[in-house]
Structure formats: C-alpha cells, structure tokens
Structure 1
Amino acid sequence: MPDKPSVLFVCVHNAGRSQMAAAWLTHLAGDRVEVRSAGSAPADTVNPAVVEAMREVGIDIAREEPKVLTVDAVQASDVVITMGCGDACPVFPGKTYLDWKLDDPAGQGVAAVRPIRDEIRTRIEDLIADIAPAKTG
C-alpha cells in the first residue's frame, strides 16, 4: 500500500451505499486516504433517505452527485470495493478487490437506511485499520 492509499467504492446507482462508504471513509480517515465513489448506472441524485441518515451522524452529503464508473477511476485506485454492481467493474492486476454484501437502500426510508449506514461504518473502521492505521509515536 502506498503512503496514501486510494479507495474506490462502486455500487449500481452511486446514490446510497457507495456514497455512505465514501463519506464515512473521508470522515474517519481524513486526508490519510484518497476516496472515490462511482456507479455502473448512476442515478440523478443521492437518495434523500441516505442524505438524512448521514446527516443524523453529523456528515453532510447533500451536495454529492452520483458519478459514472470509469476505467480511469479503477486504475487510479489501490482498493476497489463493490457493493452489488455485478460484473460492471473492470478488473486490473495489482488492485485489491473486496465485495461488500449490503442491503440496498434504494426505495427505503431512513429507518431502513440506518442499519446499513451503521454496518458500513463498522466495515470502514476495519478498512482503515488495514490500509491506513493512525501513526503512533
């Protein structure tokens, strides 16, 4: 892993899971990690229930916009984490690929999004410990 690893989160619409994961990683790791997110078929806007669920924990993603998955984004990332995007994500040697099985918040209310948000946070904390642990000493 380089001094500043880069992570790409991919889901179909880039409107829920990948947006929450990117926001958690940015929030918890700060500038120790470069963060990207994208979707294989991006939505027009981020899911409002996802925006509200993240706002409840003090993270504002209201201005985020879904982005289309590009080969360049994958090539520029050290770790690629997919969340139900199927086979749409290109695979390159030397990258770390993880597939996180998470419920899809699409069409769900805030109450249903909260447990997904919290599970993503736990996974992000584990990811940070693996790829960008805090410097000690």
Structure 2
Amino acid sequence: MKPDTFKKRLDPKNPPNLHDYDEAFRSFDWKLARKELEWFDGTKINAAYNAIDRHTHTWRKNKIALYWEDEDGTSQQFTFEQLSLLSNKLGNILKDFDVNRGDRVFIFLPRVPELFISFLGTLKIGAIAGTLF
C-alpha cells in the first residue's frame, strides 16, 4: 500500500505518534530515549514489554498499536491491551510446550497479525524469536 493511501485511511481520532520522521531523526538523543525505556535488574530490557505491555497501564491501553491490512483490503486493528493479552496467551502456550528462556522459536507465517503476536509472545517468555518468510 502506498503511504499516501494509508495516511488517508487513518482514523483522525487516533493520530500517529510520529508526525515528522526527518525531524525525529535529526533530534534523536539516546539519553532521552533511555528514559522512555524500562530497564530490569542487571540493565536488561524486554522489547515486548517496552513495545506493548508498559502502555497497558496508561491512557494508551485502548489506542491502536497495530494496523494490519492485506492486499485485498481486509484490515484489522489491535489495541495495546489486545496485543498484550493475545501475546500473553501465545507465551503461555509456548511454556506449555516446554519452551524456556533462551530457546529459539522460529515463526513461519506471512505478515499477518498472528506473526506479530507470536513474535511478541516469544519475546515475553525470554525465548529468542526469529521469522522465516
């Protein structure tokens, strides 16, 4: 999909967070970025937590976190809270199959919502996620 087509379809009640990429790139500062990320003991970071879960405890929980549209125009939207719940379910299923921290999980799916949910769920349990397209 062309960027201009996508922009026209955005919900005006749910504007994007990034308004000017070039300006954001020019003014980027790692010191400020580090303050936006949550760090865990031993200065570890969980990308799934920072991308999704931390927003479920704020006013952003019902904001759209993922817009997905296929080539036929079928679309889905997921809020931060929905992505968190779905990826938690996937993480729990992986644990039921004895997938543990440090194990490798490769996901063989096209770019559908389940790919992103699976990737996040894998990261949440501390496993290493990889995609195979």
TM-score normalised according to structure 1 size: 0.26
TM-score by length of 2: 0.27
Higher helix share: 2
- Which structure has more RCO (C-alpha within 8 Å, separation ≥ 6)? 1
